[in-house]
Structure 1
Amino acid sequence: MTAFWTEADYDDHELVEVVRDAKSGLTAIVALHSTHLGPGAGGTRFWHYPDPKDGLRDALRLSRGMSYKNAMAGLPMGGGKAVILADEDRTKTPELLAAFGDAVDALGGKYVTAEDVGISEADMVAVSQRTSYVSGLPVGEGQAGGDPGPFTAMGIYHGIKAAVAHKMGRDDLGGVRVALQGTGSVGGGVARLLAKDGAKLVVADVDEARAKTLAKEVGGEAVAPEQIMSVACDVFSPNALGAILDEEGIARLDCTIVAGGANNQLARPQHGKLLAERGILYAPDYVINAGGIISVALEYLCRTDGNPCDINEVRKRIALIPERLKAIWQESDETGVSADVVADRMAQKLIGR
Structure 2
Amino acid sequence: MSSIWNELDKDGFEQFIWCRDRESGLRAFIAIHNTNRGPALGGCRLWPYASEEDAAADAMRLARSMTYKAAAAGLSYGGGKAVVIGRADDPRIEQQFEALGRFIDRLGGSYWTGVDVGTTTAHMDAVARFTGYVTDMSGTLGGTDDWTADMTAYGLLHGMKATAKRICGTDRLHHLTIAVQGLGKVGWALCRYLRREGARLIVTDLSMRLVEQAVREFQALPVAADRIYDAPCHIFAPCALGGILNLSTVERLQCRVVAGSANNQLAAPQSVHLEALQRKGIVYAPDYIVNAGGIIATAAELDGDGPRRIRSRVKRIARTLTEVYQAAENEGITTAAAADQLAELAMHKA
Q: TM-score, normalised by structure 1?
A: 0.93
Match of 1:340 in 2: 336
Q: Per the alignment, do residues 346 and 38 of structure 1 end up closer, same or farther by CA in structure 2, a change over 3 Å counting?
A: same
Q: Cα offset for 1:92?
A: 5.4
Q: Cα offset for 1:19?
A: 0.8
**Mapped partners of 2:135, 2:142: distance in 1:** 10
Output the aligned Cα RMSD.
Answer: 1.9
> What SS does the aligned partner of 1:81 have?
strand
**Equivalent of 2:326 in 327, 330, 342:** 330
1:296 paired with 2:292, answer no
Q: Per the alignment, do residues 234 and 102 of structure 1 end up closer, same or farther by CA in structure 2, a change over 3 Å counting?
A: same
Note if contact 2:40-2:110 (Cα within 8 Å) is conserved in structure 1.
Answer: yes
Greater shift, 275-284 or 184-193, is seen at 275-284
Match of 2:18 in 1: 18
Match of 2:175 in 1: 175
**Mapped partners of 1:257, 1:293: distance in 2:** 23
Matches within 5 A, 1:181-330: 181-268=181-268, 269-270=270-271, 271-302=273-304, 309-330=305-326
Gaps of 5+ in 1: 303-308
**Mapped partners of 1:139, 1:320: distance in 2:** 26
**Mapped partners of 1:320, 1:233: distance in 2:** 26
**Mapped partners of 2:326, 2:342: distance in 1:** 13
**Mapped partners of 1:167, 1:57: distance in 2:** 36
Q: Per the alignment, do residues 188 and 10 of structure 1 end up closer, same or farther by CA in structure 2, a change over 3 Å counting?
A: farther
Note if contact 2:148-2:297 (Cα within 8 Å) is conserved in structure 1.
Answer: yes
Give the length in aligned residue pairs.
345
Q: Per the alignment, do residues 90 and 335 of structure 1 end up closer, same or farther by CA in structure 2, a change over 3 Å counting?
A: farther
Q: Cα offset for 1:144?
A: 6.8
Note if contact 1:113-1:134 (Cα within 8 Å) is conserved in structure 2.
Answer: yes
Supply the AA of the counterpart residue of 2:316.
Answer: L
Gaps of 5+ in 2: none
| Deviation string, structure 1 residues 15-40 (Cα, Å, up to 9, x no partner) | 11111111111111110110000000
Note if contact 1:244-1:265 (Cα within 8 Å) is conserved in structure 2.
Answer: yes
**Mapped partners of 1:230, 1:24: distance in 2:** 45
Match of 1:126 in 2: 126
> What SS does the aligned partner of 1:68 have?
helix
Q: Cα offset for 1:272?
A: 2.3
**Mapped partners of 1:292, 1:92: distance in 2:** 28
Supply the AA of the counterpart residue of 2:274.
Answer: G
Q: Cα offset for 1:168?
A: 2.5
**Structure with greater helix percent:** 2
Q: Cα offset for 1:107?
A: 0.7
1:97 paired with 2:97, answer yes
**Mapped partners of 1:272, 1:172: distance in 2:** 27
Match of 2:49 in 1: 49
Match of 1:29 in 2: 29
**Mapped partners of 1:174, 1:75: distance in 2:** 32
**Mapped partners of 1:8, 1:245: distance in 2:** 24
Q: Percent identity?
A: 39
Q: Cα offset for 1:10?
A: 5.1
